[in-house]
Amino acid sequence: IFTMDVYNRMFDRNAPQKRLLLLGRIMTLVFVVAGCLLAPMLDDEKFGGVFQYIQQFQGYIWPGVVAAFLFGMMVTKAPGAAGVAALISGPIIYGLFQRFAGDLHFLSQVAITFWLVLMIMGLITFWKPLDKPRELPVREDIEIRTTPEVKLAGGLVVAAVVVFYIVFW
């Protein structure tokens, strides 16, 4: 990922394959060593284990991304600046919660961050909406009807989640 998405795009678009391959191997080694050095630190009680640490860290990423995606899909006059604000404000807001509201469970921090980001996007859209609604492209050449079997399977998954939630709450 680093080799193709960062190095090849930002530093050397004409890099030969041998250099990209070597750099990929070097970066893999660097990240493996970094992971090995980081792993013992995750045993600390303050992290609550590696799974909890990963979940907490994802709180920096997903509230802003999901808010930007959903808001952009639902609000047709949302300007691009609202999406940029979501991607920037999400990690900042969550980081402030992590720093100053550590006693609040991280899932609550994520939920509050998500709603605050949506509010920020709403304010930006209120102040500077697009002149005309953006229309999503429609692909006539693709069949997208949902079959009854898929609807049934989706309903069963939702029902199972509700049952698990009730049983294990």
Domain boundaries defined on the chain: 1-43, 48-134
The model scores a pTM over 0.85: no
Q: What is the pLDDT of residues 11-35, one digit of tens each?
A: 888 889 998 999 999 999 999 999 8
Q: Tell me how far CA of residue 157 lies from CA of 101, 145, 147, 161, 166, in angstroms.
A: 34, 19, 16, 6, 14
Q: Closest by alpha carbon to 94, among 54, 63, 51?
A: 63
- Please tell me the distance from the alpha carbon of residue 158 to that of residue 107, in angstroms, as a whole number: 20
- Please tell me the distance from the alpha carbon of residue 57 to that of residue 50, in angstroms, as a whole number: 10
On whether the CB atoms of residues 71 and 49 are closer than 8 A, the answer is no
Q: What is the pLDDT of residues 107-162, one digit of tens each?
A: 999 999 999 999 999 999 999 999 999 988 888 888 888 899 999 999 999 999 99
Q: Is the pLDDT of residue 65 over 90?
A: yes
Q: Find tokens 């209120």 and name the residue.
A: 126
